[in-house]
Amino acid sequence: MTDRPLVKVENASCWFDVSGPWLERVLKRRSRIQLKAVNGVSFTVNKGETLALVGESGCGKSTVARLLVGLYTPTGGNIEFDGQPVSVLHTREGRQLRQRLQMIFQDPYASLNPRWRVARIIAEPLKVHGQLSREEREKRVDELLLHVGLSPTDRDRYPHQFSGGQRQRISIARALAARPEFLVCDEPTSALDVSVQAQVLNLMKKLQRDLGLTYLFISHNLAVVHHVADRVAVMYLGKIVELAPRDALFSQPRHPYTRMLLSAIPDTAGTGKRRIPVAGEVPNPLNPPSGCPFHPRCPYVRDICKQAMPATVTDGPAEVACHGVEQGWLSEEPVLTQPG
């Protein structure tokens, strides 16, 4: 792992226009409605590290993933990969860049073409980038199957002939085919059984060590994140509310939302620490609360929280967006958490 940022995201936003049809809006005198899926997000991912992005469903983490690989165009802000804007991914010059970043999707059942044999699935990116001869492609497919713990004899089988974990291994082999440096992994193990999850996570860690890969790892599961991440960014309603090195985040969570998420991890060690119960639901992003978006669920809420959006401040190794942290009064409150 190095301190050199491979990926740099500065104040990135992604808004979707979800207004009704024009005529209906005019007749009913309704204004346009914007869904702010991602709203002013900034972070870097250093070469060789794993940055995890966590949060409940609907917080905008998958939208960030899609922004990074160019599947969505940002409404505002900058996203750079190795010093180049990812907007070039859609141009002829961006072809080389496209090869260097790949995505692994959540559902290996849906992301593999059921009518293609494994060899064709894995070789497809090599064909698209068109750098290898047919023989070289065949050799590379065998190499990749071995890399992900499958056998070259699996090349002629179809996806339905494999288990869920094996299918995710095929997805990983396909993502690695063009020798990328950066993988965006969107909940890569959440569709798998717990025992299989651990095997796939271990494989991903091994591949990272062997091939020098950099990961953005998206998950709603903090136990999984603890296993793989070097740093963790916690998202809530389109914003990053806390970003810290993994150990600092798990041992001393600062933001009340991070504390709430950690409280949800089962206390298998039987520490008996007091917890923040996971209360309430993520508000409707079309009608977000005023001030701090977490205030309707926060046990530490004060008046200022309902009025002003907290700025992101540095607190020790962490960056946190919370008035209580910024003004110091949160540290006087009882810490209700269970860092496991």
* Residue ranges binding ligand SF4 (CB under 6 A): 255-256, 292, 294-295, 298, 300-301, 305, 310, 322-324, 330
Pick between residue 98 and residue 295 the one whose CB is nearest to ligand SF4: 295
Q: Are 81 and 6 in contact (CB under 8 A)?
A: yes
Pick between residue 19 and residue 312 the one whose CB is nearest to ligand SF4: 312
Pick between residue 200 and residue 305 the one whose CB is nearest to ligand SF4: 305
Can you tell me the distance from the alpha carbon of 205 to that of 128, in angstroms, rounded to the nearest whole number? Answer: 27
Q: How far is the CB of 239 from ligand SF4 (least distance, A)?
A: 11
CB atoms within 10 A of CB 16: 14
Q: What is the end-to-end Cα distance of the chain in Å, rounded? A: 26
Pick between residue 182 and residue 300 the one whose CB is nearest to ligand SF4: 300
Pick between residue 217 and residue 294 the one whose CB is nearest to ligand SF4: 294
Kindly give the residue spans of alpha helices, DSSP state H, lying in the chain. 22-27, 61-68, 95-100, 108-111, 118-129, 134-147, 164-176, 194-211, 222-228, 246-251, 256-263, 303-307, 323-327
Q: Which long-range contacts (CB under 8 A, 24 or more apart) does 328-334 make?
A: 329/302, 330/254, 330/256, 330/300, 333/300, 334/274
Q: How far is the CB of 306 from ligand SF4 (least distance, A)?
A: 8
Q: How far is the CB of 332 from ligand SF4 (least distance, A)?
A: 12
Q: Are 98 and 171 in contact (CB under 8 A)?
A: no
Pick between residue 146 and residue 309 the one whose CB is nearest to ligand SF4: 309
Q: How far is the CB of 100 from ligand SF4 (least distance, A)?
A: 37
Pick between residue 128 and residue 279 the one whose CB is nearest to ligand SF4: 279
Can you tell me the distance from the alpha carbon of 318 to that of 285, in angstroms, rounded to the nearest whole number? Answer: 26
Pick between residue 200 and residue 321 the one whose CB is nearest to ligand SF4: 321
Can you tell me the distance from the alpha carbon of 149 to that of 142, in angstroms, rounded to the nearest whole number? Answer: 11
Q: How far is the CB of 324 from ligand SF4 (least distance, A)?
A: 4
Q: Using CB atoms within 10 Å of the CB of residue 32, give its burial: 0 to 12 exposed, 13 to 18 middle, 19+ buried.
A: exposed
Q: Hey, what are 139's tokens?
A: 């050799």
Q: How far is the CB of 41 from ligand SF4 (least distance, A)?
A: 17
Pick between residue 223 and residue 282 the one whose CB is nearest to ligand SF4: 282
Can you tell me the distance from the alpha carbon of 12 to that of 4, in angstroms, rounded to the nearest whole number? Answer: 20
Q: Are 259 and 335 in contact (CB under 8 A)?
A: yes
From residue 318, alpha-carbon distances to 111, 231, 252, 303, 306 in Å are 36, 10, 10, 24, 23
Distance from CA of residue 189 to its chain's centroid? 12
